[in-house]
Structure 1
Amino acid sequence: MIEFLIGRLKSFKFAFKGLAWVFTHEKNAQFHLLATVVVLGISYLLDLSTFEWLCIVIAIGIVLLSELLNTAIEKLADFVSQEQHPQIGIAKDVAAGAVLIATLTAVVIGLVIFTPKVLLLFSKIVLVN
């Protein structure tokens, strides 16, 4: 049982090591992390419902997940072949496309949730003045 627990702890260590590497070396991942912090801050300020929070957290998770998988595919592909290869190029482009789809989906979710709240807030500010 102890060996099992030690093995699990080591796997967490490797997972955190991978996260740290991606967020310290990959500019797109850094951008997504910054966007995550901004979106979470806005979400807190706008007092989202539980369902809205769930939607935002799922959208963020999907974007970060896709970014991590894209980076893993790119690094593995670069290790396999440093030369330009059409099949590797397709794999890398498809992985990047997955990040794009995830990001666009997250943007739409954010617009659907935030736009009415921001418009209501803005209308309250205008009415007060």
Structure 2
Amino acid sequence: MNDDVAQCAARNSMNESDYRGGRSEYHPLRKIRTALAGVSHAVFRDFSVRYKLAISVAFLVIAGVFETLFHFLFVLEVTGVMLVAEIFNTAVERLCDYVQPNYDDRIKHIKDMAAGATFIAILIWYAVLGIVSYELITTTELF
């Protein structure tokens, strides 16, 4: 138990350059690699991100082939917002579970708020995909 406390104290005393492994200079390629690792982790380890990404790619291909550039960009935008919300929700949930593995009302409220934000993004995403699908099926322009 004392080793765990010592390791935790050592982690908490690290400054930013220690966190980066002693490297304090800015490297854009390293930042891109880190970001892509986060996206990859979300896609391959979180089913809700993975299936929404698959649906999104299908709709983006359909919108790219059959719709105007405006519709394609609109679908791309709401898809991006939805995926960002989903990844943030997953990150908040995992962080909460790490910080407090036992049930806690405060953690429940934090998780509920993150899920609520994701829910709003998903509703907007579904609405846009529904409108684009309706336009494709009926060949009428709603917007």
- The match for 2:79 is 60
RMSD of aligned Cα (Å)? 1.6
- The match for 1:28 is 48
Greater helix fraction, Structure 1 or Structure 2: 1
Q: Which moved more, 1:90-99 or 1:64-73?
A: 90-99
Deviation by residue 1:89-109 (Cα, 9 ceiling, x = unmatched) = 111111112111111101111
Structure 1 distance, partners of 2:114, 2:128, is 21
What percent identity do the matched residue pairs reach? 26
- Letter matched to residue 79 of structure 2: I
- Letter matched to residue 135 of structure 2: P
Q: Work out the number of aligned pairs and report it.
A: 116
Structure 2 distance, partners of 1:59, 1:41, is 15
Report the alpha carbon displacement of residue 14 of structure 1 after superposing the two structures with TM.
Answer: 1.0
2:100 paired residue among 53, 58, 81: 81
- Cα pair 2:42 2:49 within 8 Å, conserved: yes
Q: Point out which structure has higher relative CO (alpha carbons under 8 A, 6+ apart).
A: 1
Deviation by residue 1:62-84 (Cα, 9 ceiling, x = unmatched) = 11000111011111111111001
For structure 2, the residue ranges without an aligned partner over 5 or more in a row are 1-24
Larger gyration radius, structure 1 or structure 2: 2
Normalised to the residue count of structure 1, the TM-score between the two structures is 0.82
Matched, 1:96 2:115: yes
